[in-house]
């Protein structure tokens, strides 16, 4: 299993707006080969620190996703978000290979 975390920071007062965006997400990633699970995590002490966690069967499945037209489409939409402060957020991406499950 391969897990990817994309962590970003937004002003605390915009955290709920971001959560609503993900609550209404397209779900395109859910159809990708090797996709296993999507989670949205919020730091309990800093509301504006939010992490997208996606589980994949393999690293190759993840790499296939990030090279796909669907991935590009989703991320192009993010850049066009009306709130330019949120649109400009750049996540810190970390990748993990599950070694014991």
pLDDT tens digits along 41-54:
999 999 999 999 99
Please determine, for residue 87, whether its predicted confidence score (pLDDT) is greater than 80. Answer: no
The class of domain 2-97 in CATH terms is alpha beta
Mean pLDDT of the chain: 92
**34: nearest Cα among 67, 7, 8:** 67
- Which residues does 26 contact at the CB level (< 8 Å), separation at least 6? 74
Q: How far apart are CA 62 and CA 67, in angstroms?
A: 9
99 close to 18: Cβ distance less than 8 angstroms: no
Average pLDDT over residues 62-73: 95
Please determine, for residue 1, whether its predicted confidence score (pLDDT) is greater than 80. Answer: yes
Q: What is the pLDDT of residue 42?
A: 98
Higher-pLDDT residue of 79 and 73 is 73
**61: nearest Cα among 36, 29, 33:** 33
Rama region for 28: left / alpha / beta (φ>0; ψ in -120 to 50; rest): alpha
Q: What is the pLDDT of residue 78?
A: 72
What is the residue extent of each domain of the chain? 2-97
Please determine, for residue 15, whether its predicted confidence score (pLDDT) is greater than 90. Answer: yes
Q: What is the pTM of this model?
A: 0.89
Q: What is the pLDDT of residue 76?
A: 78
């Amino acid at each position: 299993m391969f897990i990817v975390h994309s962590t970003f920071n937004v002003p605390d007062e915009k955290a709920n707006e971001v959560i609503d965006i993900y609550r209404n997400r397209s779900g395109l990633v859910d159809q990708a080969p090797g996709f296993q699970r999507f989670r949205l995590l919020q730091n309990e002490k800093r509301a504006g620190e939010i992490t997208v966690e996606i589980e994949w069967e393999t690293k190759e499945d993840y790499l296939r996703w990030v090279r796909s037209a669907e991935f590009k489409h989703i991320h192009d939409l993010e850049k066009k978000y009306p709130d330019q402060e949120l649109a400009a957020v750049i996540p810190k991406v970390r990748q993990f290979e599950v070694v014991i499950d």
